[in-house]
Structure 1
């Protein structure tokens, strides 16, 4: 059974109540410390933010006490801060463990998907269910270009419809125009944006279209190369450092699953091409066997100049040297990617060669071209 995690859940109603209780205690304690030190601080929204604020408070109280302030005035508050930090660390450890378990539970069914495109079609929904986030954007990285692919949200509000409309009219963006995403490509790690409007790394059109108040992002990196990104946010609350870590955990796991699916798809493609090539060889051998019988039974046809068998033109005049190399590799069952590696050219160049070969030979598909090649060369 899949585990779906929503923000604020830490293992049932008791966990959620404990979370709210610690946040309330922490906010009251921070107000008390402000009264003692006169130093104001921002509002905290989650246990991780509260724990970070309390680390600063410990230093402030220690500084006040070392400066001659009476220990009786600050000692009790400092002890309360330490006790609350201990409870927060325990809560955060349990929440992190539960959320990672939820991600692993959601990745499980994806491992059974064999088709890469089907995987891409399911990943956004899996992030929402497993990571406890409200909206997810999947995008591709192709060379130096960023391409939005798909988004999914827990509801269909007007803001989400506007965002999807923007995705449809934004086919690609130069990666150089996206500082945050370019940084993730270099670092090969996740990112969190807590103040999008004031963060110079943010791609403004994306922010304007999505109306995100904060978000987390993680690269998808099968084989260690960034091929896409997951961006995610919440519609009512800011994201946290734990959200970033959870999304990163999902992205790493999904990258491995996607890599396996791509390799399996390539193996299936190569297997089908090998089968086609073997079938073409079998047809050629059958044709040669029949031709030998006919020649053996008709010496006149072998000697005479007026035989009815027409001579096929050789391959060389019609195909270039490179096209002959490509066709020879095609006959071995090699895929376009394998041919590209063998000849040290791009896959796109191989595709162009294959198209020209089929056109010149009048073949409808690779198997027919291979059949002609084997018939003429054998």
Structure 2
């Protein structure tokens, strides 16, 4: 069903369980069982986990590595040297194990490169985005299309609170719809020291859950709502701070260590992209504020320049019809000093440069609320309706004196 769903989708990642993987698992299990018998009772399958319970090629390779070492020891041991037939069996078993291990390594290397290439292709369109909201809207879809998972969940982290946010799957069956409904109804989850997610926040590392039913770190309500049994999760860390998680899994197979590596590589790359778009968005906002302040300043200076070259006195404010109820302000900058306190003069001078309240607060090392109070008193004392009028009067009086 997954292959049919992905058919024709541009940028779709490789299948989660290719045919080559299945063939290697089948061969590896058989070789593992045979090698365990030759390696001795302590390595026999009945004394260890059964081969058919191994679903990860990396885990299978690890089991085979232990057995190949044991087979070598038996062949080289002088005290318990095997007879001719047993030695032949040991040699064949050892050769088969080494051969399967070589094929596993070759397959995993190619699989890793293929999935990393698909992940990079999926990230490429995201690099053209310029706003963080656009990235967040696309992240789940990109993980599905380029990282080879069947379902992904995006969460937010706010202090000590974890908030599941949105989920997307390659199919839209009833379990997926029910899971999305659960997410919408969960306001927050406390990140106590026992949860897997709190470990990711503390250690800044991804996590793999092989068996959610028996893993005490797993959040039980999440397990029940999602049906997760085996999944990988990784923290989103732009600027080195955890702001969210990505959880991903497969519909019909356990996740592997390669899945963990792919999701971790994606979250690190996505974190850098997100940090970049946040900075771009902030720069854009500041640019707009500066442009607006410069436009206001340009208008004020233009009015002052025009007033200097007029041959007749400039009409009074009341005569022009604007601010009719406002009495004229004193015609000397010295009058400002009598009207305003030294701190208010500082605030007004910074306002005239186009500085925002936040910038003024930072410059004068005072709170934003204190700046707002100063601005209100300045407007009241100058009888100005807004900041623009106050800035106009300030520039008119201070520049006019020069």
Q: Which residue of 2 aligns with 1:68?
A: 80
- Cα distance change, pair 147–239 in 1 and its aligned pair in 2 (3 A): same
C-alpha distance in 1, partners of 2:338/2:224?
59
- Cα distance change, pair 308–230 in 1 and its aligned pair in 2 (3 A): closer
Alignment check: 8 A CA contact 2:35 2:94 kept: no
- Cα distance change, pair 280–168 in 1 and its aligned pair in 2 (3 A): same
Is 1:146 aligned to 2:158, yes or no?
no
C-alpha distance in 1, partners of 2:118/2:231?
20
Q: Which residue of 2 aligns with 1:190?
A: 206
2:26 corresponds, among 24, 44, 50, to 24
Q: Which runs of 5+ in 2 are unaligned?
A: 1-8, 318-323, 331-335, 396-402
TM-score under structure 1 length normalisation: 0.80
- Cα distance change, pair 298–325 in 1 and its aligned pair in 2 (3 A): closer
Q: Which residue of 2 aligns with 1:44?
A: 54
Shift of 1:171: 2.2
> Aligned runs of 1:325-364 on 2, under 5 Å?
332-333=353-354, 350=368
C-alpha distance in 2, partners of 1:318/1:33?
91
Is 1:374 aligned to 2:391, yes or no?
yes
C-alpha distance in 1, partners of 2:347/2:182?
42
Is 1:168 aligned to 2:184, yes or no?
yes
Is 1:3 aligned to 2:28, yes or no?
no
* Structure with bigger gyration radius: 2
Greater displacement, 244-253 / 153-162: 153-162
Is 1:222 aligned to 2:230, yes or no?
no
C-alpha distance in 2, partners of 1:234/1:187?
25
- Cα distance change, pair 137–299 in 1 and its aligned pair in 2 (3 A): closer
> Aligned runs of 1:241-260 on 2, under 5 Å?
241-260=257-276
- Cα distance change, pair 325–162 in 1 and its aligned pair in 2 (3 A): farther
Shift of 1:292: 6.5
Greater displacement, 68-77 / 287-296: 287-296
TM-score under structure 2 length normalisation: 0.76
C-alpha distance in 2, partners of 1:231/1:253?
16
Shift of 1:168: 0.8
Alignment check: 8 A CA contact 1:140 1:228 kept: yes
1:284 corresponds, among 300, 309, 332, to 300
Greater displacement, 102-111 / 334-343: 334-343
Is 1:92 aligned to 2:108, yes or no?
yes
- Cα distance change, pair 168–360 in 1 and its aligned pair in 2 (3 A): farther
C-alpha distance in 1, partners of 2:195/2:170?
28
Shift of 1:114: 0.9
- Cα distance change, pair 230–72 in 1 and its aligned pair in 2 (3 A): same
CA distances 1:84-110 after superposition (whole Å, capped 9, x unpaired):
111110110000000000000000000
- Cα distance change, pair 19–148 in 1 and its aligned pair in 2 (3 A): closer
CA RMSD of aligned residues (A): 3.7
Is 1:54 aligned to 2:59, yes or no?
no
Is 1:105 aligned to 2:121, yes or no?
yes
Shift of 1:253: 1.1
Q: Which residue of 1 aligns with 2:227?
A: 211
Q: Which runs of 5+ in 1 are unaligned?
A: 10-15, 302-306
Alignment check: 8 A CA contact 1:216 1:244 kept: yes
Alignment check: 8 A CA contact 1:277 1:370 kept: no
C-alpha distance in 2, partners of 1:339/1:175?
37
Greater displacement, 45-54 / 271-280: 45-54
CA distances 1:125-181 after superposition (whole Å, capped 9, x unpaired):
000011100111111222332222221111122221221112112222233366322
Alignment check: 8 A CA contact 1:220 1:252 kept: yes
> How many residue pairs are counted as aligned between the two chains?
358
Q: Which residue of 2 aligns with 1:13?
A: none
Shift of 1:40: 3.3
Shift of 1:8: 4.0
